[in-house]
Structure 1
Amino acid sequence: MPRQSTASTCCYCGVGCGVLIEHDDRQILGVSGDPAHPANFGKLCSKGASLHLTGDPGARALYPELRLGKDLPRSRCDWDSALEHAAGIFAQTIAEHGPDSVAFYISGQLLTEDYYAFNKLARALVGTNNIDSNSRLCMSSAVVGYKRSLGADAPPCSYEDLELSDCVMIVGSNMVYAHPVLFRRLEQAKSQRPQMKVLVIDPRRTDTCDLADLHLAILPGTDVALFHGILHLLLWEDWIDRDFIREHTEGLAELKALVRDYTPPMVAQLCGISVEYLQQCAQWIGNAASFLSLWCMGLNQSSAGSAKNSALINLHLATGQIGRPGAGPFSLTGQPNAMGGRETGSLSNLLPGHREAADPEHRAEVAAYWGVEQLPAHPGLSAIELFEQLPSGRIKALWIACTNPAQSLPDQNTVRAALQACPFVVLQEAFATTETAAFADLLLPAASWGEKEGTVTNSERRVSHVRQAVPAPGEARPDWAITLDFAQRLERRLRPGLPSLFDFTCAAQLFDEYKGLTQGRDLDLSGLSHQLIDRLGPQQWPFPNGVTQGTPRLYGNGVFPTASGRARFIADPYVAAKEQRDARFPLTLITGRLRDQWHGMSRTGTAAQLFGHVSEALLSLHPDELRRQRLREGDLVSLKSRRGSVIVAVARDDGVRPGQAFLPMHWGDRFLKGGVNAVTQSAFDPLSKQPELKHSGVRLEPVQLPWQLFALIEGEVQAHFKVLRPLCEAFAYVSFSLSGRERPALVIRAAHQEAPLPALLKLIDQQLGLEGGPVLAYDDPRRAIGKRVRIEQGRITAIRLAGETLAQHWLQQLWLEGRADEQLRRWLLAPMSAPPQASGLGGTRQRTLCNCKNVSYQAVGAGIAEGLDLEQLQQQLGCGSQCGSCVPEIKRLLAAAVQPASLPV
């Protein structure tokens, strides 16, 4: 079939980049940025640029699977049987225990039409508000902040404000990793206008800080104190807009009385920064012609997340910096359609059209629109509350869609026990390899990116059309279609003889019904349709009937959607994070993102090249902390909190303060035994109910695991993963990753107190294809050391080292290069364990610096040694010339004049 191109939207973060999908009507062949899309103008990050590599059929859910008992395996069934069974159980459960005995937990990655179908199902048919989404984990504090301060959940800014602002403050976001395309715009704007001030507030020194004129490395959780301290100085120095405050706000008197006590010395001590830095920050904000703030999970994932959001917005209200170009409080959405979920009511406290489930008038409006007598008034369970209720038996049937709570929720030991206890769990999911799939009694295969149609709303309120390019594999179906099919079957049991509430045949019909619920509201979408977006391009709401273009900024007239029409100053005092350092848990654990992975890695974890920069979970510690703990880089430690523990390797990181530790959020139990969230806490903000995933008290305990395993097997990665992951469960430490580009391989690193039984090693060897054939082997039973390498057609295809693994990086590099020379054969058949030093590689792995162009640290270091500057490196090697996410690291290497021999390993 000839290659075609279909314009669509990326499925990762909330930037909402336009993409062009190259395909042949059967499979996706490539992807590029859409130059016509106003969110990215053709730019893509490393994750978006590799979307076409994440469709491994071995990872996909292809057919419905059902099990009839918790101790039984699932078996394949047809759609009719699967949905009839689910409808029967839900109907029986509702009849016996009431509508609140069932619940729905959905995802910020669904399309708006999917959300709408789920909300109508839960509220209008089942009669429960027990519907929440994983947006609760990332955006709910921003929602509360906007609603309390401004009257509506409506980010007032546009991406073009990045280019127009004179002072940009980035708070709690490693923007260069989390929203790289937007960061590139900011970076370019600053290069063109060096007088622009960039402030970064983050406990860690991240790559984002390289752009900053000022980095405030505050102590974790002290954001509210910082913002109050800044406001104290703004008021003291009269760097405020008195006219704006008088005409457009209310509540300053109470806030003024509160922040009077937040003096510079007090705030500097609380936040762990200098008074001079605090004063400089306030001066730049107070004297800026335009002030823009950008924030993400560092503010939101906190037990004081709502207070942090409102305290930040207070700064904009005090300075009048809202509603005009280059100014405003701008939350950066974490997921591709978290905003679309909030618009349709996909949090347990919301209803479609930015309505409140607790408001009788709002419930009556939606009920009348849907043609039902009433909507449930009883509050629904938020995500954390939902999983806390599962063990008690209150929830007897749970429907999960497009999310992975067995990886993403905090306190994983409790979450997994809760899933196991739930009598009936349905998982509607594109990837059968997620941690949650193991708990599903019914697995329903869903269509994924490039295989379905609908809309998404990005961080700047821009609605884009997501277009289908290829058919879904196997029997996978679009999420909205699955939901409607189930709803129709359930309503025949719950509403026999009545007209169907779910008479839709395509996604466009769902959107057209949904938009009527927004008419006259702050987010009015009544003028939009799939067809209009196709004709005019993506549009920002509000977009009411009769207009020809969207709304770039809100509140330009100074009128806010509050009862008084005024924005509100919110006076919340600083409250410390729930878990502070103490004698038992002397470290503060911070979680965050990697550059090339996304969330729980259900998708990015299938693309081998996305492991090139960081291949395994590493706990980052300051060099002084490593010395204090008597640790060396690469040592394994048990990271323990009050909830659980995980064994992980440590790494040196000057960007982390002593007394703190950093661990990326992505590594679930599939890739790291136990997973990161075994140690995080479920304490949550009382208003937003968003958990404090960013901040946990932990301690380190050295572990002695002298017996080690390294294995590599190329081809059919997911099939090998499925068999080898359970076999490795016997080891104390297990880390899985992928490697390679042309020939992806599964890589295993494991460690244990002692050698395993020979039978287990034999099973592993069988799966690795090392039991026979062209295999070179050496065993030393006395030392419990063994090495095996399979060589086919002159190159390595499988490796297993047992006992010790000194040669693992050398062997992996030989595999990558397709070499199997005489030197390898001599090493294999001799007692030596360490790699031959003559190879020049020693025990160092060649890490990838630039994933887009596959450029290693060693190659960049060699170029620097030859005297190349950034522009020359980009021209000659290609690094940093595509998405630019690696540019901060390249600049640091240039600044330090690092030689290849001392590059990070």
Structure 2
Amino acid sequence: MPHETRTTCPYCGVGCGVIAKVDEHGIVSVKGDPDHPANLGRLCSKGSALADTLSMDGRALFPEIRGERADWNDALDLVAQKFSEAIAEHGPDSVAFYVSGQCLTEDYYVANKLMKGFIGSANIDTNSRLCMASSVAGHRRAFGSDTVPGTYEDLELADLIILVGSNLAWCHPVLNQRIQAAKQSRPGMKIVTIDPRRSVSADLADMHLMIRSDGDVALFNGLLAHLASSSAFDHDYVAAHTTGFPDALEVAKSRTILDISQETGLTVVELRAFYRLFETTGKVVTCYSQGVNQSSIGTDKVNAILNCHLATGRIGKPGMGPFSLTGQPNAMGGREVGGLANMLAAHMNIESEADRERVQRFWNAPTIAQKPGLKAVDMFEAVADGRIKALWIMATNPVVSMPDADRVREAIRNCPFVVVSDIQKNTDTAALAHVLLPATGWGEKDGTVTNSERRISRQRGFLDLPGETRPDWWHMAEVAKRMGFAGFDYAGPAEIFAEHAALSAFENGGSRDFDIGARANMGADEFDAMMPFQWPQPRGMAASTTRFFAKGGFYTPDRRARFIAVKSGRDDRTGSDAPFILNTGRIRDQWHTMTRTGKAARLSSHLAEPFVEINPADALELGISKAGLVQLENGFGSVVLRALLTERQPRGSVFVPMHWTDEYAADARIGALLAPRTDPVSGQPALKHAGVRVRPAEMTAFGFAVVAFRPGRFDAPYWGMAKAEGGWRVEFGFDAMPDDMEAWCRDSFGLSDRMEHLAYADSTTGQQRHGFFEDDRLVLAFYAAPEPVAVSRDWAVKQLSTSLATARARFAILAGRPGAGQMDPGATVCSCFSVGVNQIVAAVADGCRTVEAIGNALSAGTNCGSCRVEIKGIIDGCRRQAAE
């Protein structure tokens, strides 16, 4: 029967509400939930394409032991046995869990309870360590708790929004839409971006500060010194609700404006303009994300920002406050249940004997972890040196995402016992598992997530569980019972959530920020119907929108906030052997290691292969051509990527997305080049500042293919594949052109000798084109040349879904472009509606002169809005060309 289900998007920390509809044929469609307070019906390109990611392609559907199908009892018995043996022989710290912000809160809760309260070790950490740990540490140093003070509504109420290390337009697009709508209604609102790279978000800002990598502490220390002698300094707030201001100010004043200019790379004029804008604008929200957190001084950066808001009392009030933008859908939920190695459940402190005793008593646990466990980088170091004997990895892909990724891969490969719980069986990490446990995915999972503004929402299943998949919490509860532990006999996620809520209220009485005791007695029906709500919600309190700290009330022993004195100073990672700064991050349409988004053709249509952004002047000096292939290398590893020349990238630095894996490319795991260097307070690795050498990759031939099925890996020094409508597309680079390209194609793609083959070769130019057909369908088109192949890629992809019944139609494939009267849409600009650059240019020629006019004509830019800046750039380019 057709049905609709209100659930939550599984991507970033915005936590958008989604309505999933399953029709009478079982076809799923998604739309934004207009009643969800996070997004009010908006979705980004990834959220809009969720239905495209639900295929069974590559799904783990049955338990496996050493690559062979097994039944659940055998698999779970083996996990329990191996973990029990390691603990008995080597102690509880010889085992570890590495979990994920993709887990639901209920999954996280059971994992944390099992490890800390029953195994008795704190060796449970999460990939959230890679994205938000410095924010957690900064909050705890300043506030005494990991508390996000504000709400999304503050972004619409602010008169000044500062985006620090955040490409909001691509990484949190729905929040960007909310801000842009607010700015349109109130043009006086100002936006400042602070980022070493001119991202798309900078194009939407009134001021962009192209700061040097890790110059943030100097910038905000300078701001604090400026504010201290200005009318914006809130003497009453500082006196009544804080401590430590004199020490923080003394350190901040130790640098002159010229010192700050040198450390940040910003001019004195830029600095003074920014400081004056912050000073004179009352309602200020400072949003910060991975550019702040993913640093060896990330915690100090966070506290430098918090210091400025505390000094002005701009915290916890409408339109004011520091705002940590969470990277993952449930990083916040994981923090709430103690999913980090240095935290206890319900925002209690593992360092506190009273808190440890309280949690142990609530769980009726046989033991409790007595000290913080190993944080992510240290955990995999312990796997490498043999201290960890049994490792359980859940819903994450550390072989790709961790720094020093090649060493992490070898560590996991050599670990005596590795369990992986995942929805996909072919990830880089799952390939190393001794036991693979098939997990439920989005559309099947049932539980809760918490977004960046502390709002807890239900993620509801609307699809039947495929194969023998089971929820992650069930995996762990069953293993716990097999290890002889009581307290894990849960009937479903409602019971787990109710226990989690009860623990949050247990002996609390306002002493801790996280309290959802009002939900502690919730039954399954009430849990099923639960609407999004923001914490805290103690017993007896109705759900409401809340802010923290406008009138003090911090969670330190004296209930005062702490100013933290943080010293500036850049630690440059470059040198003569690695002169370029490597910055890493996300792109608009992909998520993490592409486990889900890699299945959606439209999400690969905008940027379909691994690439490196490099300044054109640097490229010219290095002999790197437009669309050429580039090798990045240092003492940790090397990668080969496509060159994307752009002046958005400052000279002396390069930017590489973190998404590509060995499933999708020959050699593009950027984590292999990143040192395992961490922030000394948070343990978060510095993923955005490494030194690399950059040089042209020596290729003598290039190729492009469209193929009707997913191919395997290729014997070529460079290849990158992406899902396409009707099949797959693949880019190639070769040391030398294969002598017999037809034979190479048949062998590399596994084609039958019976397939019809058509070919064209030009001995003068060195170009070759090959088509392989089965009946009236194209199976493979392969184009090769001594330089990057000039083919209409989107047109070639569409031929996979086109009937080619005549010889003329099949020969047309070899042309590599549409014939007369057919339009080549060009490279995709709008993924939501599959609109290409040539279509936009044609619309401009027909009289569309604004982004809105393009939207009316082609729909481009009217859904998630992430492509609007690119559309405007095309319009402006057409105007300049016309003027010439």
TM-score category, normalised to shorter length: over 0.9
Aligned to 2:517: 526
- How do 1:751-762 residues align onto structure 2 when only pairs under 5 Å count? 751-755=733-737, 762=744
Root-mean-square deviation (CA, aligned residues, Å) is 2.5
Aligned to 2:329: 336
- How do 1:358-437 residues align onto structure 2 when only pairs under 5 Å count? 358-437=351-430
Aligned to 2:561: 567
Aligned to 2:302: 309
Aligned to 1:776: 758
Aligned to 2:200: 207
User: Per the alignment, do residues 559 and 417 of structure 1 end up closer, same or farther by CA in structure 2, a change over 3 Å counting?
Assistant: same
- Quick check: 1:156–1:554 contact (8 Å CA) kept in 2? yes
Aligned to 2:490: 504
C-alpha distance in 2, partners of 1:781/1:828?
Answer: 19
C-alpha distance in 1, partners of 2:855/2:614?
Answer: 31
TM superposition shift of 1:751 = 2.0
Match of 2:630 among 605, 619, 637: 637
Aligned to 1:798: 780
AA paired with 2:561? A
C-alpha distance in 1, partners of 2:760/2:752?
Answer: 12
Aligned to 1:153: 146
TM superposition shift of 1:29 = 1.1
1:873 and 2:854 correspond = yes
C-alpha distance in 1, partners of 2:539/2:107?
Answer: 23
Aligned to 1:857: 837
AA paired with 1:52? A
- Quick check: 1:637–1:648 contact (8 Å CA) kept in 2? yes
**SS, match of residue 552 in structure 1:** coil
Higher mean C-alpha displacement, 135-144 vs 650-659: 650-659
User: Per the alignment, do residues 81 and 373 of structure 1 end up closer, same or farther by CA in structure 2, a change over 3 Å counting?
Assistant: closer
Match of 2:608 among 589, 604, 615: 615
**SS, match of residue 772 in structure 1:** coil
C-alpha distance in 2, partners of 1:747/1:598?
Answer: 19
- Quick check: 1:26–1:471 contact (8 Å CA) kept in 2? no
**SS, match of residue 209 in structure 1:** helix
Aligned to 1:810: 792
User: Per the alignment, do residues 811 and 878 of structure 1 end up closer, same or farther by CA in structure 2, a change over 3 Å counting?
Assistant: closer
Aligned to 2:10: 11
TM (norm. structure 1) is: 0.92
- How do 1:334-733 residues align onto structure 2 when only pairs under 5 Å count? 334-491=327-484, 500-519=486-505, 520=508, 521-528=512-519, 529=522, 537-577=531-571, 579-674=572-667, 675-715=669-709, 717=710, 720=711, 724-725=712-713, 728=714, 730-733=715-718
Higher mean C-alpha displacement, 296-305 vs 765-774: 765-774
- Quick check: 1:453–1:468 contact (8 Å CA) kept in 2? yes
- How do 1:41-60 residues align onto structure 2 when only pairs under 5 Å count? 41-60=40-59
Higher mean C-alpha displacement, 274-283 vs 686-695: 274-283
Aligned to 1:255: 248
Aligned to 2:770: 788
C-alpha distance in 1, partners of 2:540/2:570?
Answer: 49
AA paired with 2:514? L
TM superposition shift of 1:748 = 2.0
User: Per the alignment, do residues 683 and 26 of structure 1 end up closer, same or farther by CA in structure 2, a change over 3 Å counting?
Assistant: farther
Aligned to 1:737: 722
1:890 and 2:876 correspond = no
Q: Output one character per residue of 1:378-407: Cα deviation in whole Å (capped at 9) or x when no partner.
A: 431111001111121111110000000011
- Quick check: 1:590–1:696 contact (8 Å CA) kept in 2? yes
**SS, match of residue 558 in structure 1:** coil
User: Per the alignment, do residues 84 and 278 of structure 1 end up closer, same or farther by CA in structure 2, a change over 3 Å counting?
Assistant: same
C-alpha distance in 2, partners of 1:824/1:770?
Answer: 21
TM superposition shift of 1:459 = 0.3
C-alpha distance in 2, partners of 1:864/1:80?
Answer: 63
1:100 and 2:81 correspond = no
- How do 1:47-196 residues align onto structure 2 when only pairs under 5 Å count? 47-67=46-66, 74-196=67-189
- Quick check: 1:464–1:533 contact (8 Å CA) kept in 2? no
Higher mean C-alpha displacement, 747-756 vs 426-435: 747-756
C-alpha distance in 2, partners of 1:602/1:414?
Answer: 22
- Quick check: 1:797–1:815 contact (8 Å CA) kept in 2? no
TM superposition shift of 1:768 = 4.8
C-alpha distance in 2, partners of 1:407/1:545?
Answer: 43
**SS, match of residue 356 in structure 1:** coil
Match of 1:198 among 191, 198, 205: 191
TM superposition shift of 1:377 = 1.2
Unaligned runs of 5+ in 2: none
- Quick check: 1:63–1:77 contact (8 Å CA) kept in 2? yes
- Quick check: 2:825–2:839 contact (8 Å CA) kept in 1? no
- Quick check: 1:232–1:263 contact (8 Å CA) kept in 2? no
AA paired with 1:893? I
C-alpha distance in 1, partners of 2:695/2:882?
Answer: 31
C-alpha distance in 2, partners of 1:234/1:613?
Answer: 43
AA paired with 1:708? F
C-alpha distance in 2, partners of 1:265/1:767?
Answer: 60
**SS, match of residue 350 in structure 1:** coil
- How many positions carry a matched residue from both structures? 870
Q: Output one character per residue of 1:198-223: Cα deviation in whole Å (capped at 9) or x when no partner.
A: 11101111111122111101011111
**SS, match of residue 518 in structure 2:** coil
C-alpha distance in 1, partners of 2:764/2:870?
Answer: 45
Higher mean C-alpha displacement, 118-127 vs 331-340: 118-127
- Quick check: 2:129–2:684 contact (8 Å CA) kept in 1? yes
User: Per the alignment, do residues 506 and 417 of structure 1 end up closer, same or farther by CA in structure 2, a change over 3 Å counting?
Assistant: same
Aligned to 2:20: 21
- Quick check: 2:304–2:564 contact (8 Å CA) kept in 1? yes
Higher mean C-alpha displacement, 130-139 vs 750-759: 750-759
**SS, match of residue 353 in structure 1:** helix
User: Per the alignment, do residues 440 and 248 of structure 1 end up closer, same or farther by CA in structure 2, a change over 3 Å counting?
Assistant: same
TM superposition shift of 1:105 = 0.3
Aligned to 1:70: none
**SS, match of residue 483 in structure 2:** helix
C-alpha distance in 2, partners of 1:253/1:689?
Answer: 28
- Quick check: 1:132–1:381 contact (8 Å CA) kept in 2? yes
TM superposition shift of 1:805 = 7.2
C-alpha distance in 2, partners of 1:836/1:485?
Answer: 57
C-alpha distance in 1, partners of 2:399/2:135?
Answer: 24
Aligned to 1:71: none
TM superposition shift of 1:565 = 1.1
**SS, match of residue 648 in structure 1:** strand
Q: Output one character per residue of 1:307-359: Cα deviation in whole Å (capped at 9) or x when no partner.
A: 00000001100111001100011101000000000110101111101112222
C-alpha distance in 1, partners of 2:145/2:797?
Answer: 56
Aligned to 1:847: 827
1:32 and 2:31 correspond = yes
C-alpha distance in 2, partners of 1:854/1:400?
Answer: 36
AA paired with 2:498? D
Unaligned runs of 5+ in 1: 68-73
Higher mean C-alpha displacement, 384-393 vs 730-739: 730-739
Higher mean C-alpha displacement, 349-358 vs 811-820: 811-820
TM superposition shift of 1:485 = 1.1
Aligned to 1:288: 281
C-alpha distance in 2, partners of 1:373/1:62?
Answer: 35
C-alpha distance in 1, partners of 2:630/2:504?
Answer: 52
TM superposition shift of 1:785 = 7.3
